[in-house]
């Protein structure tokens, strides 16, 4: 029944309007909005790791990320987390040539119709959350249900992603829909996703996601010299699957030095930031800036590497 109601709410305008009051009550308890942020973060950490969160003297990387979530506010936090507004920062700091082409933007889901979209493959997404996007390879394809897409976007825009994990950078983002060029190969494959983790303004490690959107989605970890790192810090893909490392190595990117240099220019002296990149047709494209990898709620394995990596991150308390 819950699945049916969720689908009715997300995919039907009538369902959205009818269930909106009930959805707000449900979300109030789902996201535990009655809890102060510190209590929520402590509870979430205990649920994920099985032991209390040490905020007095955090040691592990996940503990420090949760400490930063509660105690650190970057002056450009909202702009960095806003997938639309961050484009201005990228253009001003390193140049607009690193931006994925923006094809259309609107605040009204009803404007997402074929006549407003380009005749090239694109991805439709919201700017204020982490919900992925809707890939459109051919806007004239008969399988597209545009009303359903509009309703999905409307439901997304009604949510404040801050409540999902109490990450302050999401709280004040004005929701918007953006349509960007889809970076995909001739066979429709998506490019590798390079996520550059910066500690105190310097690149500490890089994870590369390969096979995104397939059953062979893997995540390998490398240091800044592109030497394999001996741990995993995986995301949940659902159905018991995670982004585990691959047995196969990923070739060192030709643009690695540029990626490292640009990442460090973008993050400045922030204690921890992750900068995401794509390499497509020999060019480097900016993806996004993230403050808390996986919200600090996913284990690093082997466990001792959570502490070893934590030792490399210094907090200005």
CB-based contacts of 261-269 (< 8 A; 24+ apart in sequence) = 262/94, 262/98, 263/196, 263/198, 263/203, 264/198, 264/201, 264/202, 264/203, 265/93, 265/94, 266/89, 266/90, 266/93, 266/94, 267/198, 267/201, 268/201, 269/200, 269/201
Poorest-confidence range of 21-35, 45-59, 78-92, 222-236?
21-35
Condensed to tens digits (0 to 9), the pLDDT of residues 109-142 reads 999 999 999 999 999 999 999 878 999 999 999 9
pLDDT value of residue 238? 85
pLDDT value of residue 75? 96
Condensed to tens digits (0 to 9), the pLDDT of residues 148-176 reads 999 999 999 999 999 999 999 999 999 99
Coil, helix or strand at residue 89: helix
Condensed to tens digits (0 to 9), the pLDDT of residues 192-231 reads 999 999 999 999 999 999 988 788 899 999 999 999 999 9
């Amino acid at each position: 029944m819950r699945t049916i109601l969720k689908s009715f709410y997300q995919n039907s305008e009538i369902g959205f309007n009818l269930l909106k009051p009930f959805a707000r009550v449900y979300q109030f308890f789902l996201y535990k909005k009655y809890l102060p942020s510190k209590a929520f973060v402590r509870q979430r950490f205990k649920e994920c790791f099985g032991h209390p969160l040490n905020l007095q003297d955090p040691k592990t990387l996940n503990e420090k990320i949760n400490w930063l979530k509660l105690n650190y506010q970057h002056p450009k936090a909202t702009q960095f987390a806003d997938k639309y507004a961050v484009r201005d920062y990228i253009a001003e700091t390193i140049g607009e040539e690193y931006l994925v082409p923006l094809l259309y933007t609107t605040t009204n889901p009803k404007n997402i119709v074929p006549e407003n979209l380009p005749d090239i493959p694109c991805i439709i997404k919201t700017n204020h959350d982490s919900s992925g996007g809707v890939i459109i390879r051919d806007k004239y394809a008969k399988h597209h249900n545009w009303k359903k897409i509009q309703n999905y976007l409307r439901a997304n825009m009604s949510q404040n992603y801050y409540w999902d994990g109490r990450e302050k950078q999401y709280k004040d983002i004005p929701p918007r829909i953006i349509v960007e060029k889809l970076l995909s190969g001739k066979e429709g494959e998506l490019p590798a996703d390079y996520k550059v983790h910066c500690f105190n303004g310097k690149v500490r490690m890089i994870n590369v996601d390969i096979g995104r959107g397939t059953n062979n989605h893997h995540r390998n970890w490398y240091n800044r010299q592109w030497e394999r790192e001996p741990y995993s810090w995986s995301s949940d893909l659902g159905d018991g699957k995670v982004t585990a490392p691959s047995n196969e190595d990923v070739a060192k990117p030709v643009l690695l030095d540029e990626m490292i240099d640009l990442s460090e220019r973008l993050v400045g002296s922030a204690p921890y930031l992750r900068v995401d990149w794509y390499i497509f047709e020999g060019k480097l494209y900016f993806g996004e800036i993230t403050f808390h990898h996986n919200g600090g709620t996913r284990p690093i394995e082997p466990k001792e590497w959570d502490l070893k990596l934590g030792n490399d991150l210094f907090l200005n308390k």
